Amino acid sequence: MTLFTVIGNPVAHSLSPQIHQLFAQQFGIELRYTRTLSAPEQFDRTVREFFRAGGTGANITVPFKQDAVALCSELSKRAQAAGAVNTMQARANGELYGDNTDGAGLVSDLTHQVGQLAAARVVIVGAGGATRGVLLPLLEAGVVEIVIANRTVDHALALRDHFATAYNAPITAIALNQLTPEQCHQAIIVNATSTAWSGEPLAINHACFAQARWVYDMNYGAQPTAFLQQAMQAGAPQCSDGLGMLVEQAALSFSLWHAGLMPATQLVLQQLRQNLG
Ligand code: ATR
C-alpha cells in the first residue's frame, strides 16, 4: 500500500487525510495517509525519515512550505514562482520533486464558483507567502490585472517588482488603506492575509466590498471568517471561503501522485462542508 503524509505544525486538524481517502475511494485505490507533526528544527529530518521509510508523497503545510524548497532536487515552474512547495514526490532514484498546487487550486475553485478567469480583475489582500503562492497560476489563467493591497506597502511593492521583472506581469501594488472602490469595481477580492481568525477588522475601505464581483477568503471554517463577515456586512454581492481551494489543491496533488488520475471534487467538498458544520 502506498504511504502519504501531511507535515506541518500544527497539523492535528488537517483535513488532508480525509480528503485523500475520499479521492482514493473514487478509484478503488487503497492508500495510507497520515499526519506528521514536526518541530521547526526537525523539519528536514522529518521529511527524510518519511521518504526513507517508503513514503510516496507528502503535503507540506504551515510553516514549512518555504523550507521544503531546499529539500527538492527539482521544482515545478509554479513551485519556483511561489518560492514554496506544498507537494513532494519521491523519485525512483530517491530524489524529491517539489510542486505547489495552491495557486492552481485557487484558480480551479474560482473557476467553479465565479466562472472563467480570463479577463477577470483580481485584488489580493496581503503580500506574504500565501499571495506569492498564487500569483503565477492566476496570471496563467488569463487574469488581466492583479492589485496587491497590503498593510505594509513595501511588501506589496517587492512582490510586484519581482513578478513584473520575472514574468512581465500586470500587477499594481498599493497600501491596503489606500485601496479604492474604483479599483475593486467588478473585481474578485481575495483575502490572503493571516488574519482570518483574529477578529480584528482589516483597515480596508468598506465601500470596496460592495463594488466587488466576488469576495473570497483563502481561509475557511465552520463559521464565516472575520474577513467574510466584514465583506457581507458591507454589502458584498457574493462571498466564499477557501474550503474549495483546499479540496482543489489536494486533487492536483493526488493527480501528481497517481499518474494523472484526477478525482471529482464537488461531492468531496459538499461532504467536508457538512462535516465542518
Ligand atoms: P503567509 O505565509 O500566510 O502569507 P506571511 O508571509 O507572514 O504569512 O504574511 C502575512 C500577511 O498577512 C502579510 O501580508 C501581512 O501584512 P504585512 O506585510 O503588513 O505584515 C498580513 N497581515 C497580518 N496581520 C495583518 C493585519 N492585522 N492587518 C492587515 N494585514 C495583516
Closest of 233, 229, 225, 269 to residue 251, by C-alpha: 269
Do 107 and 236 share a domain, yes or no?
A: yes
> Which residue among 193, 218, 227 has the greatest number of ligand 1 atoms within 8 angstroms of its CB, and so is best to mutate?
193
Evaluate if pTM is beyond 0.95. yes
Q: For residue 28, what is the domain's CATH number? A: 3.40.50.10860
Cα gap 32→135, rounded to integer Å: 32
C-alpha cell at 143: 487574469
Residue nearest atom 2 in ligand 1 by C-alpha distance: 129
Indicate if the pLDDT at residue 201 is higher than 90.
no
Do 142 and 221 share a domain, yes or no?
A: yes
Q: How far is CA 228 from the centre of its chain?
A: 17
Do 35 and 89 share a domain, yes or no?
A: yes
* Distance from Cα 154 to the centre of ligand 1, integer Å: 12
Compute the average pLDDT of residues 74-90: 98
Residue nearest atom 21 in ligand 1 by C-alpha distance: 193
Indicate if the pLDDT at residue 200 is higher than 90.
no
Closest ligand 1 atom to residue 132 Cα is 4
**Percent of the chain residues past pLDDT 90, beyond the cut:** 96
> Which residue among 9, 86, 148, 151 has the greatest number of ligand 1 atoms within 8 angstroms of its CB, and so is best to mutate?
151
Residues with CB under 6 A from ligand 1: 126-130, 150-152, 155, 193-195, 200, 202
Residue 54 confidence (pLDDT): 97
Do 108 and 236 share a domain, yes or no?
A: yes
Residue 197 confidence (pLDDT): 67
- Cβ(262)–Cβ(251) under 8 Å? yes
**Any idea which of 16-30, 133-147, 196-210, 245-259 has the lowest mean pLDDT?**
196-210
Cα gap 179→31, rounded to integer Å: 47
* Distance from Cα 260 to the centre of ligand 1, integer Å: 35
Compute the average pLDDT of residues 100-106: 98
Residue nearest atom 12 in ligand 1 by C-alpha distance: 193
Compute the average pLDDT of residues 68-87: 98
Structural domain boundaries, residue 34: 2-100+244-276
Do 126 and 248 share a domain, yes or no?
A: no
Band (pLDDT 50/70/90 cuts) for residue 277 is confident
Indicate if the pLDDT at residue 198 is higher than 90.
no
Band (pLDDT 50/70/90 cuts) for residue 8 is very high
Do 54 and 14 share a domain, yes or no?
A: yes
* Distance from Cα 194 to the centre of ligand 1, integer Å: 5
* Distance from Cα 29 to the centre of ligand 1, integer Å: 39
pLDDT digits (tens, 9 = 90+) for 226-267: 999 999 999 999 999 999 999 999 999 999 999 999 999 999
Closest of 177, 70, 81, 74 to residue 129, by C-alpha: 81
Which residue shows C-alpha cell 488603506? 177
Which residue type occupies 226? A
Residue nearest atom 9 in ligand 1 by C-alpha distance: 128
Indicate if the pLDDT at residue 6 is higher than 80.
yes
Closest ligand 1 atom to residue 155 Cα is 18
Closest ligand 1 atom to residue 193 Cα is 12
Total structural domains in the chain? 2
User: Collapsing DSSP states into helix, strand and coil, what is residue 227?
Assistant: helix
Do 32 and 117 share a domain, yes or no?
A: no
C-alpha cell at 25: 475511494
Residue nearest atom 28 in ligand 1 by C-alpha distance: 202
Which long-range contacts does 88-93 make (Cβ < 8 Å, 24+ apart)?
A: 88/47, 88/51, 88/57, 88/58, 88/59, 88/60, 89/56, 89/57, 89/256, 89/257, 90/51, 90/55, 90/56, 90/57
Residue 194 confidence (pLDDT): 87
CA distances (Å), 122 to each of 110, 143, 150, 203, in order?
11, 7, 14, 18
* Distance from Cα 56 to the centre of ligand 1, integer Å: 33
Do 137 and 200 share a domain, yes or no?
A: yes
Do 236 and 141 share a domain, yes or no?
A: yes
Do 139 and 189 share a domain, yes or no?
A: yes
Do 176 and 233 share a domain, yes or no?
A: yes
Do 83 and 207 share a domain, yes or no?
A: no
* Distance from Cα 227 to the centre of ligand 1, integer Å: 13
Indicate if the pLDDT at residue 44 is higher than 70.
yes
Q: For residue 189, what is the domain's CATH number? A: 3.40.50.720
- Active site positions, annotated: 65
Which residue type occupies 204? I
Which residue shows C-alpha cell 511561489? 82
Cα gap 238→114, rounded to integer Å: 9
CA distances (Å), 62 to each of 10, 200, 242, in order?
8, 22, 15
Compute the average pLDDT of residues 105-115: 97
